[in-house]
Structure 1
Amino acid sequence: MIRVRVGLWGLLLGLLLPLLFGPLQVQAQEQEAAAIFRYAEVIEVKELTSNPAGAPKGWHVRYSFELDDETPQKGGFDLFATTKEPLTMPTELSEGDTIILSCNSGGCDYFDRGRSGGLWFMGLIFIAVIWWVCRDHGLFALFALGFSAAFIFAVMTPLLMQGFSPLWLSLLTALLLAVVLITMSHGFSSRSLVAIKSTAISLILALLFAQLACWVLGLNGGGGSIAMYSGHGLLKGLDLHGLFLGAILLGSLGVLGDITWTQSAMVEELATAHPRMRSVELVKAVMPVGRDHAAGMLHSLVMAYIGAGLPMFILVFYDSQTPLWVTLNSELVLEELVRMIAGGFALTLAVPISSWVAALRYGERPRLSRTSPLVRSGKRG
């Protein structure tokens, strides 16, 4: 089974890599006309001594980097403290630090601090913990997660920029990723098939519920953060309503795959242990555990949404000039609530849906018990 999954992963990555590096090359060509970003190393940091009277404290930073032909280049830039913290460097830099420069025909300017080293370090710790606890299953789950992110970036995003419907594209992407995530995390089996069917049904119901909520509340997707960037650049002209619904589908995918797999596994194990149980009996037997599981997952889902939007909630709810009832009526808040409710709606219904789909597959099926003979005894004649 592991060899099959490794082979399939090789095939998927082989098909995806050309698509992944295509957008990167296009972006690189577009950036050549505007700016080129380079890594550089800080070689010296000096405090400025000739600041104008009343000006914030400043520092001169020297850096070095190599061009594409390995020719060394050096330069420098100034950093100034803010008025709120006039004695503190806005970005703590010291000799040996890595920075990112934005270079054009006029020279190079400081863009940001380099954090790739820390990112690799944290990523390796994360992968090591996943492998230590989950072994091969955890690594395949990480591969599935990486494939999902790469597919969204390399395939879905360029198609959105070309004018494809965000709603239908997100739905097809969610269905495809459900197949990849479940089969690559748990292997090919009847459980996986049941979980995929149940996840697909739950996603469609989540879409219908979110569409209904938008119609009842009069939401068009323009209240979220995406609306702030939709009036200019590459995001201009996007279908915000479809993008909002598509984001709900993708956000609900992870928890749906988990709960549908768990329910299908419980039903199959119970049906194998008790071959005479009917479908209704199997559903009744697994529903209590499913309810507990859904309650815990629902809390996790809602808290994930709240955590992601916490700065927005703080800014909105603590606006002293706006009454609370007006704030709750705003499209910005209602869209976040619809995300939570639609995801929780699909998550809750996924329990009975996956239980019934699994029970109809495994219930009342003739099976050979461990003590049943494979060949009936008797005379051959």
Structure 2
Amino acid sequence: MPGPTVSHGHGDTSAVDADAVVARRVRILLAAVLTPLLLLTLVGVVMLWPSHEVKVDALQTAKARGVVLSIAPCAERPDECDRARVKVTAGEGTGSEVDARVVKHPLVPRVQAGNRILMQVIPEAAADERYKYVDQDRGRPLLLLVGIFAAAVIALSRWRGLAALGALAVTAVVLTQFVMPAILAGGDPLLVAVVGAFVIMSVTLLLTHGPNAQTAISMAGTAGALVLTAALGELFVLGSRISGLDNNGASEVAAYVPGGVNLPSLVVAGLVIGALGVLDDVTVTQTAAVWELSAAKPNASRRELLAAGLRIGRSHVASVVNTLVLAYAGAALPLLMLFAITGTPDSYVVSLETVATQIVNGLVGSLGIIAAVPLTTALAAAAVAHRSGSVPSPRDAVDAG
């Protein structure tokens, strides 16, 4: 990352954490902002927690996994499909050998003997048509990748890396057991996403950085930036008249949820969740930067700390914003290539909902990141300015709050 940056927790900032002035100011922040916020988040989880099963019975189908023993062209349409002999390893018919129909497509890798595959089971169909090929079973390579990732994180960050993996697991649980079911149960998608984001933020920061003053400042900065991101997302999604129908699977979800789903709000919800991870990184870095600056100069005023922290934050924001925008652009790359092939004018392309949604996501998320830097830096500077009992000038005393 170009420009000056501050590592997370590499310097000796224990004197800053132990300072009585800093502790008093952080306690005020906890009492005035974070404790009410966490209580409201807990109330939100309780109120929004789904009270019934969200699965739609009509859409439930039996599934199976298996290993292909042999494969041959279909007798009736050899150019269009293959007939695979499969040993079922999990799901419906475990332990048996079955025939599965595999549709051929020039862009899809051919199924071969030895491949592990996923199948759909249609119990009412004829015996030779009961099992249908769905996709390759990618469980083993994905598990290998997860193992390599976890080992790399732990090798580099040790106990903190292990805590980060625990936070990642909690994030997955919150998304799958609360956010998605609560929306499917009829909850407002944006409200559910904001509550879920606060839960993820709190657990992630506390697990990875511990319950200390820096974490409290980072949580406050992240919460403020999240609220701003949600408000801007709602404003520009509605202002751009984005329907949300172009999101993958959105219209199908809305059709099966009792009372439907507010699809524009679902777009904003996705934006909030997508921006959260980057916001955490920015706020933690800015808080650590100000702590390091205070450790080097204990009697620094709030104005000095804020100015120095913002200088560090500028380069961080430039890199992070570019990362976020490129992530959204990468997701839309095949579609952009299609527009290039058809010669569609740029001014026309950017107004199409699919592209406009990505633009709103990228730019609103970036605005949230930009806002997080001065907000978190100001909170951190207010917490550590004029510590160590130095006597500030009257003007600096006002700055220090």
Range class of TM-score, shorter chain: 0.7 to 0.9
**1:137/1:66 Cα in 2 relative to 1: closer, same or farther (>3 Å)?**
closer
Q: Does 1:327 align with 2:349?
A: yes
- State which drifts further: 213-222 or 276-285: 213-222
TM-score, length-normalised on structure 1?
0.79
Alignment partner of 1:292 out of 315, 329, 352 = 315
Shift of 1:354: 0.7
TM-score, length-normalised on structure 2?
0.75
Is the CA contact 1:229–1:235 (under 8 Å) kept in the aligned structure 2? no
Match of 1:56 in 2: 79
Alignment of 1:1-381 (within 5 A): 30=57, 34-47=60-73, 56=79, 59-65=82-88, 72-79=95-102, 81-82=104-105, 90-95=109-114, 97-105=115-123, 106=125, 107-230=130-253, 232-234=255-257, 237-320=260-343, 322-366=344-388
Shift of 1:129: 1.4
Match of 1:7 in 2: none
Deviations 1:339-365 (A, max 9, x none): 111111011111111110001111122
Q: Aligned partners of 1:254 and 1:327: how far apart in 2?
A: 29
**1:188/1:80 Cα in 2 relative to 1: closer, same or farther (>3 Å)?**
closer
Deviations 1:46-69 (A, max 9, x none): 456x566xx517543212236889
Is the CA contact 1:41–1:65 (under 8 Å) kept in the aligned structure 2? yes
Structure 1, unmatched stretches of 5+, are 1-18, 369-381
Write the letter of the residue equivalent to 2:315: D
**1:67/1:280 Cα in 2 relative to 1: closer, same or farther (>3 Å)?**
closer
- State which drifts further: 205-214 or 252-261: 205-214
**1:307/1:151 Cα in 2 relative to 1: closer, same or farther (>3 Å)?**
same
Write the letter of the residue equivalent to 2:117: I
Deviations 1:223-257 (A, max 9, x none): 44354435533497100121111111111101111
Is the CA contact 1:80–1:90 (under 8 Å) kept in the aligned structure 2? no
Aligned-pair Cα RMSD in Å: 3.0
**1:181/1:367 Cα in 2 relative to 1: closer, same or farther (>3 Å)?**
farther
Q: Aligned partners of 1:94 and 1:27: how far apart in 2?
A: 38
Is the CA contact 2:54–2:184 (under 8 Å) kept in the aligned structure 1? no
**1:71/1:237 Cα in 2 relative to 1: closer, same or farther (>3 Å)?**
closer
Write the letter of the residue equivalent to 2:158: R
Shift of 1:277: 0.9
Write the letter of the residue equivalent to 2:111: E
Q: Aligned partners of 2:258 and 2:362: how far apart in 1?
A: 25
| Percent identical | 24
Q: Aligned partners of 1:69 and 1:81: how far apart in 2?
A: 24
Q: Aligned partners of 2:303 and 2:291: how far apart in 1?
A: 14
Write the letter of the residue equivalent to 1:257: D
Shift of 1:278: 0.9
Is the CA contact 1:79–1:90 (under 8 Å) kept in the aligned structure 2? no
Shift of 1:44: 2.2
Q: Aligned partners of 1:290 and 1:71: how far apart in 2?
A: 56
SS in 1 for 2:88: strand
Shift of 1:112: 2.2
SS in 2 for 1:275: coil
Is the CA contact 1:294–1:347 (under 8 Å) kept in the aligned structure 2? yes
Structure 2, unmatched stretches of 5+, are 1-45, 391-401
Write the letter of the residue equivalent to 1:309: A
